[in-house]
Amino acid sequence: MMREFVVEADGGSRGNPGPAGFGAVVRDAATGETLAETAEYIGTATNNVAEYRGLIAGLRAAHAIDPAARIQVRMDSKLVVEQMSGRWQVKHPGMRPLAAEARTVFPAGQVGYEWIPRERNKHADRLANEAMDAGARGGQWQPPDRPAAPVAETADSAAAPAASEVVLEPGPIAESGAAVTAGEAERRTPPVGWAAPADLGTPATFVLLRHGETALTPQKRFSGSGGGDPELSPAGRRQAEQTATALAARGTIQAVVSSPLRRCQETAGVVAARLGLDVRVEEGLRETDFGAWEGLTFGEVRERYPDELTTWLGSSKAAPPGGESFAAVTRRVSAARDRLIARYAGRTVLVVTHVTPVKTLVRLALGAPAESLYRMELSAASLSVVAYYADGNASVRLFNDTAHLR
């Protein structure tokens, strides 16, 4: 005999968009017994995104118990119920991937949807609020019989798998001299990545997207802001579409900012169109001007400009012939960062830019030395995330993530 479950789900956002969470409960339809509870703080998101995330979590919890069960979903979200029932179209591009994901958990014939008033959805509502309360305390919701666990450090804790939630793996940057003495560490503010005090509020979060490939990218040629303005290649346009799909599914991006160069504006335009947002151009995000080296490979530069290359590799203040030094790039990127932090305080913004600006923002957030720029690898259309708190601290939450391109 086929088992029957009731899934009650809810989600909320304190700000819409703002700090958000969801809750869901699975009950035995015959006895009313609670079989499973789930809740999660998901960072900054809208009410609708949180509600959809609650639905998906509830369906998955039911599926884990019995994938052959018949499911009756009950929610107080008229939007989600009508859209999932097929009576309303899913018009918002950010909702479509979530609705599609919900439909993949069970075959359509096994799931029914019912709208209920809020007072009949108190259990799921309570779980969602518990999740948001836990997030405000710097923690993550856990069932009552277990102690609370810390929130994983990600741009959107509901969107990225645990493997991507590491702040940054030890490697070349750590070996480059970025370590501080014990005395210096004692004098510093406790790093946000370890323990973010609740009173710091919601950070300004930069989701840093390197543009998609151009014809020069696979050839590893210097491509800055002084040697033409290449467009995306067909591969680069596919990467932009893949990124747009992934970010729409997360539903956390609230604004899009781009470098003025074409390859970034094309990438940003694809994502912004999917999210229903406009693109704001920030001049300070343009790539380094590589001067006479524009269009050349590293090997060609080493052959034609051996002395200049040696000097450039040895000092961030050195510039390619007719170009721009990394020290100069740092000054303008820092100024752009400060403008964006002020403009998007407490919000999550997609920043579409280039290799050097992304590396510079990560380096500055880590307090790493200038030479660390040479020790980071950054792939085309990769995502990195830095959060900026009100006390001036910054937290690197993700670096060079390309999982959305696979």
Exposed, middle or buried, 303 (CB in 10 Å: 0-12/13-18/19+)? Answer: exposed
Is 354 annotated as catalytic? Answer: no
Rounded CA separation 162/150 (Å): 13
- On whether 263 is known to bind a ligand per the annotation, the reply is yes
Rounded CA separation 42/52 (Å): 12
Instruction: Find the Cα–Cα–Cα–Cα dihedral 279, 17, 49, 138, rounded to 10°.
Output: 120
Distances in Å between the alpha carbon of 324 and those of 61, 111, 259, 312, 319? 54, 60, 17, 10, 5
Rounded CA separation 324/255 (Å): 29
Cα three-residue angle 268-369-199, rounded to 5 degrees: 65
Q: Which of 63, 92, 211, 354 is catalytic?
A: 211
User: Taking the alpha carbons of 208, 213, 219, 225 in that order, is the dihedral positive or negative?
Assistant: negative
Rounded CA separation 254/125 (Å): 25
From 234, 236, 242, 211, select the one nearest 355 (Cα to Cα): 211
> Which residues, including other chains, have CB under 8 Å from residue 382's CB and lie 6 or more apart?
209, 210, 400, 401, 402
User: Tokens 């969602």 correspond to what residue?
Assistant: 128
355, 209 contact by CB (below 8 A):
no
Is 404 annotated as catalytic? Answer: no
Report the DSSP beta bridge partners of residue 398: 385
Rounded CA separation 100/91 (Å): 13
> Which residues, including other chains, have CB under 8 Å from residue 76's CB and lie 6 or more apart?
10, 115, 116, 117, 118, 120, 121, 125
Task: Write out the binding residues.
Answer: 263
Give the residue numbers marked as catalytic: 211, 287
Task: Write out the binding residues for substrate.
Answer: 263
